[in-house]
Amino acid sequence: MRADRSVYLITSCKGGVGKSTVAVNLAFAMALTGDTVLLADCDTKNRTADLMLGYEGVGMFDLSDVAEERVMPDEAILRDPRCELLYYCTTPPSGEVIDPSRAARAAVRCADAVGADCLIVDTSGGIDFPLAMYRDVVYDAIIVSTMSTPAIRAAERTGAELSHHGVKNLRLIINEFTYKDASPITELIDETRVPLLGVIPYDVAMRRGQELGMPAAAVEESVCPRAFYNIAMRLRGADVPLFDGMHVRGKRRLISSRPRQADVSENQIAI
């Protein structure tokens, strides 16, 4: 594994807070701003990143095939036709079991195969996978929460568990944020004891786009691409104000919309 590679685990003990939304769109933001990115879908309970990307039914192999050495990593990787620096590999369909440590090592092998600067790992709800993965891969954890009390409690528990087991860099993203929630942000940070990385506005346009296999960067009416761009720049060390540029609704998409299935199939990489 490359020593200079950034590895971000998108996590929370609670399901339904938008981990896959954050993983997919942060991967696009990092790739659109210059990093070669591998997005590894390790949501073994309910994978949805393929749907959000428009990849349903595309690709023959997954991380379990790489882990069991049935195929080489390049056979399980897709290159996104909308962004040449973004690659994707998926977990087995729901119901198939893959050991977290083996999945983590397989994701690293896939990242090595494409020379990824950044590995973003989507996970299912719960703490078992992040803890198991940490035994094999050193990563930064991005904890996703909404402003709901159950989500905040889950974020607090996630941060405490990961910190206890040695994960050092923990950061928080608030998803489905509305501006009426602005005042409780400091309270949420106090409760979770995790530094805030960014906020993702509640955005109907982005939700509709996801149902069509379009990330936020492909949705003209969405303000969310700016939010993910801000987060990507903060991960690079830039000092970007929390709501920078987000008061203006975006009127142009950054990439083409849903990929044609043929485009995705043709972008099965060959190394």
Residue listed under structure tokens 């891969």: 137
Instruction: Tell whether 70 is covered by a domain.
Output: yes
Instruction: Tell whether 173 is covered by a domain.
Output: no
For residue 58, the enclosing domain spans 23-139+200-264
DSSP per residue, the chain = --TT-EEEEEE-SSSSS-HHHHHHHHHHHHHHTT--EEEEEE-SSS--HHHHHT-TT--S--HHHHHTTSS-GGGG-EE-TT-TTEEEE-PPPTT----HHHHHHHHHHHHHHHT-SEEEEEE-SSSHHHHHHHTT---EEEEEE-SSHHHHHHHHHHHHHHHHTT---EEEEEEEE-GGGSTTHHHHHHHHT--EEEEEE--HHHHHHHHTT--GGG-TT-SHHHHHHHHHHHHTT----TTTTTTSPP-S-SS-SSPPHHHHHHTB---
Q: What is the mean pLDDT of the chain?
A: 88
Q: pLDDT digits over 139-158, tens only?
A: 999 999 998 889 989 999 99
The pLDDT value recorded for residue 51 is 92
The pLDDT value recorded for residue 183 is 58
The pLDDT value recorded for residue 262 is 62
pTM for the predicted model, two decimal places: 0.92
The pLDDT value recorded for residue 271 is 42
Instruction: Tell whether 9 is covered by a domain.
Output: no
Averaged pLDDT for residues 260-267: 66
Half-sphere exposure of 187 (CA within 13 A, CB side): 10
Which tops the pLDDT comparison, 184 or 113?
A: 113
Averaged pLDDT for residues 230-257: 81
The pLDDT value recorded for residue 169 is 94
At residue 227 the predicted structure's pLDDT band, cuts being 50, 70 and 90, is very high
- C-alpha 238/C-alpha 4 separation (Å) is 18
The pLDDT value recorded for residue 1 is 66
Of the listed ranges 33-37, 131-135, 180-184, 196-200, the one predicted with least confidence: 180-184
Instruction: Tell whether 184 is covered by a domain.
Output: no
Instruction: Tell whether 60 is covered by a domain.
Output: yes
What CATH number did the domain enclosing 109 receive? 3.40.50.300
Number of domains in the chain: 1
Q: pLDDT digits over 45-98, tens only?
A: 888 899 999 988 788 899 999 999 999 999 999 999 999 999 999 988 766 778
Instruction: Tell whether 146 is covered by a domain.
Output: no
Instruction: Tell whether 12 is covered by a domain.
Output: no
Of the listed ranges 27-31, 100-104, 256-260, the one predicted with least confidence: 256-260
Q: pLDDT digits over 155-190, tens only?
A: 999 999 999 999 989 999 999 988 765 556 777 777
